[in-house]
Chains A and B, each alone.
Chain A
Amino acid sequence: MAMEQMMPSGEMRERLQDAAKKLEPMMQQVSEFIVRTRDVHKVYLMGKVEVRALRGVTLDIKRGEYISIMGPSGSGKSTLFNMIGGLDKPTSGSVYINEVDLAQLDAYELAWLRCRTIGYIFQTFNLIPVMTALENVMLPMIFAGVPEDERRDRGMELLKRVGLSERWNHKPFELSGGQQQRVAIARALANDPAIILADEPTGNLDLRTGKEIIELLKELNQEKGVTVISATHDLKMIDVSDRVIWIRDGQIARIEDRSKIRVEAALEVEEALMEGELPDLP
């Protein structure tokens, strides 16, 4: 008797299915890893020569982490960056953002993802030159269908957060490099993304401005819990990163935990001192 009574009726089954469907997106958001790559290979054809830019990269990035991808030119750093950011497809292997396999997405879904889940920051700032700072920040919101008033309010709020509220009406050519990058950061945050992807954010900035930008990114990472993934040459990034991924010749050479970096260096210094030697400066 019990079995028949315990089986859900047709209507009940439908309601359960509806509930499951609604929970699906929430389930996806609860995943601990926001970006995962599995054995990613990328091969380019330069004329007749095959260039193996990535040779089997597997990594997991946790939600809310601040990751720096470092490596010399030609190491595959930018290629990996492109894979993670959905800007390019791997030759083999998979990239998952929020447990969603990017290879399964069509053009609309990719655009949706880029608009709402990922914010991009570039070395060359890439602000639209014919638009003011505020309009640049509002542009992703236009694509996301946010109404005009809300766009404006949110845009001004973001500009205020990055310290540029008085320059909302200025066009990019009227702003310094550091200011342009701040506008770019505000723009990247426009739709409250889960990930910020930064490609050499301090590459075109002087030391002091670069430091300010890095600090701003770290603050935002801690305030909003947004995952920051940065491909960079800049050693100043090491300090604020939770983990540093070193890439060489298309493969991961090393993944360093920031706490370990500090601790190991400190240990080395301590050991050297105890032996009576003068330690190398880190």
Chain B
Amino acid sequence: MTRTGMSPLGLTREEIRRQIHLPWSEAFRISWRYVTIRLGRSLVTASTIFLSVAFLMAVCTMILAAKATGHAQEDPEAFAATMARYKWSVFLGFMICATGIISALLMSVTERFREIGTMKCLGALDEFIVRMFLIEASLMGLFGSLAGAIVGAVLMLLWAGFREGFSLWAKIPWGLKSPTGEWGFFAYFVASVLAGMILSVVSAILPAWRAAKLQAADALRTEI
């Protein structure tokens, strides 16, 4: 419940709320710095996303390849059963990836307790801290997913090419939709990258909440 009216500080509460803010551009700039400068830590988080999304994209590419060569249509039931198994594996992979991200980010929060406390002393609201962490997570998600999707797709295409002949590449629908109205390569690509980013942001919610709960007095603490 938001309070309104005059604050003891001599301004209305609405004015006070308006006078503290962190523009998204600034939050983005700060988060970008954290991601690029603490590259080692960022890579650890991004690599789990990379692997999961690579797996996902590889499976999607495999679906397209199977349809292109006609194997999928030969025995639809067997195909569906195989696909179900793969989908389950991809899902498990994403779950494992999520726990990896959560651990890495929680560790990051613990390491940064002093900086976060200091920012609160400078006037940062809890939501600013959350914003910064979520932007960081989505940046790592974006880069990890992009790299993963590309590598996963390329590897699967090469493998399918070696097994079934490279002519199948011409038969794959590269655009958004295939002639039969199903998903094309680009659609799968975008969906995989989005899945990775969403995974990253959702995993970051708990660590971001923990970070926001840190107090300004933590800036003075001398131990972790």
Contacts and interface: CB of A to CB of B under 8 A. Distances in A.
Interface of A: 21, 24-25, 28, 78, 82, 85-88, 100-101, 104-109, 111-116, 118, 120, 122-124, 126, 128-131, 139-140, 142-145, 187, 199
Contact of B126 (A101, A107, A140, A145): A107
Q: Identify the 3 closest CB pairs spanning chains A and B, nearest first.
A: A115-B123, A25-B10, A143-B123
A120 B121 CA distance: 7
Given A25-B9, A128-B115, 16 more contacts: A25-B10, A28-B10, A82-B217, A85-B121, A88-B215, A104-B8, A105-B7, A105-B8, A106-B3, A108-B17, A109-B7, A124-B114, A126-B219, A130-B38, A142-B26, A145-B20
Interface stretch (B29-37, B83-91, B98-106): B29-37
Interface string B153-168: 0000000000000000
Contacts of B7: 105, 109
Of B7, B23, B122, B216, chain A has the most CB atoms within 10 Å of the CB of B122
Contacts of A87: 121, 215-217, 220
B128 to A, nearest CB: 8
| Range for the number of chain B residues in contact with chain A | 35 or more
B171 interface: no
B159 to A, nearest CB: 41
A250 B120 CA distance: 26
B217 A88 contact: yes
A143 B20 contact: yes
A116 B121 CA distance: 10
Contacts of B128: 143
A115 B215 CA distance: 15
B11 interface: yes
Nearest to A82: B217
B121 A101 contact: no
A129 B128 CA distance: 18
Given A105-B8, A142-B26, A144-B123, A111 B118 contact: no
Nearest to B7: A109
Contacts of B117: 126
B6 interface: yes
Contacts of A130: 30, 33-34, 37-38
A112 B19 contact: yes
Nearest to A78: B220
B219 A111 contact: no
Contact of A116 (B26, B38, B123, B217): B123
Given A113-B9, A142-B26, A144-B123, A126 B19 contact: no
A106 to B, nearest CB: 6
Interface in B118-163: 118-126, 128
B7 to A, nearest CB: 5
A122 B122 CA distance: 12
Given A107-B125, A109-B7, A145 B19 contact: yes
Nearest to B33: A130
B123 A112 contact: yes
B109 to A, nearest CB: 15
29 contacts: A25-B9, A25-B11, A88-B217, A100-B9, A104-B8, A107-B125, A107-B126, A108-B16, A108-B125, A109-B8, A111-B20, A112-B9, A114-B120, A114-B122, A114-B123, A120-B118, A120-B121, A120-B122, A122-B118, A122-B220, A126-B114, A126-B115, A126-B219, A128-B118, A129-B37, A129-B115, A131-B30, A142-B23, A199-B220
